[in-house]
Chain A
Amino acid sequence: MLRILILLCLATPAMAQTPMTAAEFEAYVDGKTLSFGTAGEPYGMEWYRSNRRVTWAFTGEDCQDGVWYEEAGNICFDYGDVLSPQCWRFYDEPGGLRAEFMNEPGTTVLYEALDTEEQLICPNMAS
């Protein structure tokens, strides 16, 4: 019986269907620095600070400060630049977060990289 249950658990695709709420997202990320990748390639890192402030850097690029907020069921990020606001839906999965880009649905999906040694270094910033 236990074997069948285990087999069933392994066979079911571990895809969460409901996006995380702002509260769930905040509880998950608060104080952490997360690494994201797409299709096996590193994409960027984000440091989630107090008061929903963030510092983001694309892999190999300068850091940008911003904020996140909830809007229309999405988690939106504003870095005060021309590409902002950028809105995503996050899903809590066993392998880490999955993020779907909502500005242009169906284009970008990011996955949190749990086993990475990467560090967020901001040479363009004083801290």
Chain B
Amino acid sequence: MPHPMMLFTCATLLPLPLIGLGALLGGGWILAALLFLTLITATLDHLVTRATPALADTEFPAATALSVTLALGHFALLALVIRALGGDHLGPWEKAGLFTAAGLFFGQVSNSNAHELIHRPGRLLHGLGVWVYVSLLFGHHASAHPLVHHRLVATRADPSSARLGESFYRFARRAWKGSFHQGLAIESERLARLGRPRWQHPYVTYCGGAALLLGLSALLAGPLGLLAHLGLAGFAQTQLLMSDYVQHYGLTRTNGPDGRPEPVGAWHSWNSPHPASSALMLNAPRHSDHHARPARPFPALTLPDASPMLPRSLPVMACLALWPRQWRRVMDPRAAQWRNVA
């Protein structure tokens, strides 16, 4: 069995040159990237049944190096792809393929990596994560995720926890608006409490940074490039919202005798053991452990034995979520099983 870090590194780094070359040269490179991100990952998930073991170290320099590389690769790829989509050296089919492949990479790898980075202490690593989200026009997630979602997970107050019976489409609207506004409220409160000047409000970076990068795209790749940037951001955000939707659907924390929700337990998140998609998403599907130990680096995340398991891999379930009736038929009975676990 190859070392887990090898799996993470190969799964996440391989698409970078494929998509990059696709942006520059078009043709087969785009197809290769698409196949890797979809069919190959799904096939490996199906064939390899044993989940990757968690690493027991306390420090993971290799994981940090990978995260930094992926973040820098993200910016380079985003620029290359925007330029290619806004330019005229690729045909319409090539552009469609490139948009899809790049969008899948940003949605599954960049998002997961940025999520990893914003949970790390240290301003450099955290800042890298923030700017990956900013470049995807989702900067507020860097505040809302730790300050709103992690605090309120699996309660009705959390905009990013999907309620039983709620369709993905309804959830997406609520999650986007809710996370933006609640994140803003908390950060404004923190700013006031710390007595800091208004220009240091994190949302200044999120909104200002987004405007700056969109302006850059327009400048360097014209109106088509700007459109491409918006489209890629929208596609990536949709995938992030789909992940959020799947990972807590229908699971709720019951209120204790003091009226406060019970502490977060393993039964408040959906997990998936599938090794290939887990490698691609830096163990994002090991979600229960992430909520128990948010500061734990991804190679150390475990899959608790008695925790909610998705019937298929996370990307497959995310696709199913697009068909609400089918989704509910599969997931509602499963969620019901976990609702009364004490």
Q: Could you tell me which A residues sit within 8 Å of B by CB distance?
A: 66-67, 69, 72-73, 78, 80-85, 103-105, 107
* Chain B, interface SS category: loop
Report B193-230 CB contacts with A as 1/0, cut-off 8 Å.
11110000000000000000000000000000000000
| A67, B191: Cα distance in complex, Å | 11
In angstroms, Cα B194 to Cα A84, docked, is: 12
- Decide yes or no: A78 and B193 within 8 Å by CB, A104-B292, A104-B294 being known contacts: yes
Kindly state the separation between the CA atoms of A67 and B263 in the bound complex, as whole angstroms.
Answer: 25
Main secondary structure of the interface of A (DSSP, over half): loop
Beyond contacts A73-B260, A104-B295: 9 other A-B pairs, Cβ-Cβ < 8 A, are: A72-B260, A80-B190, A81-B123, A82-B118, A83-B121, A84-B190, A85-B190, A104-B293, A107-B293
In the assembly, what is the distance between CA of A67 and CA of B121, in Å? 19
Q: Does B122 reach chain A (CB closer than 8 Å)? A: yes
A69 touches B292 (CB 8 A): no
Residues of B in contact (CB 8 Å), total 19
Question: Of the candidates A67, A82, A103, A107, which one forms a contact with B194 in the assembled complex, judged by CB atoms under 8 Å apart?
Answer: A67
Closest residue of chain A to B127, judged by CB? A82
Q: Is B334 an interface residue (CB 8 A)?
A: no
The answer on a CB contact under 8 Å between B126 and A80 is: no
Across the two chains, which residue of chain B brings its CB closest to A69?
A: B193
Known: A104-B292, A104-B294. A82 touches B190 (CB 8 A): no
CA of A82 to CA of B124, assembled, Å: 11
Q: Give chain B nearest CB distance to A70 CB in angstroms.
A: 12
Closest chain B CB from A32 CB (angstroms): 21
> B126 contacts A82, CB within 8 Å?
yes
Q: What are the residues of chain A within 8 A of B120 when measuring CB–CB? A: 82
Q: Which residues of B contact A103 (CB under 8 A)?
A: 294
Nearest to B186 among chain A residues (CB) is A85
When C-beta atoms are compared, the residue in chain B nearest to A53 turns out to be B195
Smallest CB–CB gap between A100 and chain B, Å?
12
How far in angstroms is the closest Cβ of chain B from A88? 15
Question: Which 3 pairs from chain A and chain B are nearest by CB?
Answer: A82-B126, A80-B194, A83-B121
Given the complex, which residues of A lie within 8 Å of B194, measured CB to CB?
A: 66-67, 78, 80
Q: In whole angstroms, how far apart are the Cα atoms of A78 and B191 in the complex?
A: 10
Q: Which residue in chain A gives the minimum CB-CB distance to B123?
A: A82
* CA–CA, A104 and B290, complex, Å: 11
Distance, CA A80 to CA B147, complexed state (A): 13
Q: Which residue of A lies closest to B118 (CB)?
A: A82
Contact between chains at A80 and B292 (CB < 8 Å):
no
Query: CB distance A78 to B190 under 8 Å?
Result: yes
Map CB proximity to A onto B118-162 as digits: 1 under 8 Å, 0 otherwise: 101111001000000000000000000001000000000000000
**Chain A residues near B260 (CB, 8 Å)?**
72-73
Complex interface: chain A residues within 8 A of B193 (CB)? 67, 69, 78
Q: How far is the CA of A84 from the CA of B151 in the complex (A)?
A: 12
Given contacts A104-B292, A104-B294, contact A82 B196 (CB under 8 A): no
In the complex formed, the residue of A with least CB distance to B146 is A82
Q: Which residues of B contact A85 (CB under 8 A)?
A: 147, 190
Cα A97 to Cα B292 with chains together (Å): 26
Using CB atoms, name the residue of chain B closest to A83: B121
Chain B residues 252-283 with CB under 8 Å of chain A are 258, 260, 263
**Chain A residues near B147 (CB-CB < 8 A):** 85
